[in-house]
């Protein structure tokens, strides 16, 4: 069996689309990793500098009460920094997920369009009596598309729930630390 020029062109277009998707996803992954690495390096540098300054302040404390006051004064800003860090990480993850979804949605939509065109063309050339098979195939493709849409919707809901949970945990940590700091001062 020999391939026709149309089949070769279609295969080439599909390969190019898949390679493009691969490079898009790889590029976004590397971009997200770069952002995360930059965030971590910045956080580590800031933490080191603040640790040195805090250690010097604690060593200069004249008594236990002053030392405790310095420790308590550090709690709230540290929680705020953790909250900000978690927000940045969640933002990077959300951006990456949105880009992945966008790229794959475009690819899947295009693939579904091509399959539907192929089925329609095949249905026109099919022998009499093959309508049942053609309709079954179209129904299967429609169900697969609906399944993909549901998966996409569920994934978005899961990401939103994850972000809400992260924000809830971080806010609860901030509240607990603020309450503990207030209790210790009293």
Question: Tens of pLDDT along the chain (186 residues)?
Answer: 466 787 778 778 878 888 888 888 899 999 999 999 999 999 999 999 999 999 999 999 999 999 988 888 887 788 788 888 988 988 898 888 888 888 888 887 777 777 777 777 777 777 777 778 777 877 887 787 788 778 778 877 887 787 788 777 777 776 776 666 566 555
Q: Where are the domains of the chain?
A: 12-185
Residue 181's pLDDT is 57
Q: In the chain, what is the straight-line distance between the N-terminal and C-terminal CA atoms, in Å? A: 87
Q: What is the pLDDT of residue 73?
A: 86
Token code pair at residue 78: 């540290």
Pick the closest to residue 35 from 82, 80, 90 (CA basis): 90
The pLDDT, as a whole number, for residue 107 is 80
pLDDT of residue 3: 62
Q: Collapsing DSSP states into helix, strand and coil, what is residue 101? A: helix
pTM: 0.64
Are the C-beta atoms of 145 and 110 separated by less than 8 Å? no
Q: What is the pLDDT at residue 35?
A: 95
Contact partners, residue 137, CB within 8 Å, separation at least 6 = 119
78 and 173 in contact (C-beta within 8 Å)?
no
Cα angle value 7/114/105 (rounded, 5°): 130
Q: Are 57 and 70 in contact (CB under 8 A)?
A: yes
């Amino acid at each position: 069996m020999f391939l026709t020029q149309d089949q070769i062109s279609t295969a080439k277009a599909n390969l190019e689309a898949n390679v493009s998707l691969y490079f898009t996803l790889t590029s976004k992954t590397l971009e997200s990793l770069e952002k995360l690495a930059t965030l971590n390096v910045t956080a580590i540098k800031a933490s080191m500098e603040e640790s040195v300054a805090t250690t010097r302040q604690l060593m200069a404390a004249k008594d236990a009460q002053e030392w405790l006051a310095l420790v308590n004064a550090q709690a709230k800003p540290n929680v705020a920094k953790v909250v900000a860090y978690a927000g940045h990480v969640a933002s990077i993850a959300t951006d990456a997920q949105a880009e992945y979804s966008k790229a794959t949605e475009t690819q899947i939509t295009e693939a579904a369009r091509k399959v539907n065109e192929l089925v329609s063309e095949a249905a026109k050339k099919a022998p009499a009596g093959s309508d049942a098979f053609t309709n079954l195939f179209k129904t299967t493709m429609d169900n697969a598309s609906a399944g993909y849409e549901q998966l996409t919707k569920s994934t978005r809901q899961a990401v939103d729930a994850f972000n809400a949970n992260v924000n809830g945990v971080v806010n609860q940590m901030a509240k607990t630390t603020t309450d503990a700091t207030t209790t210790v001062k009293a």
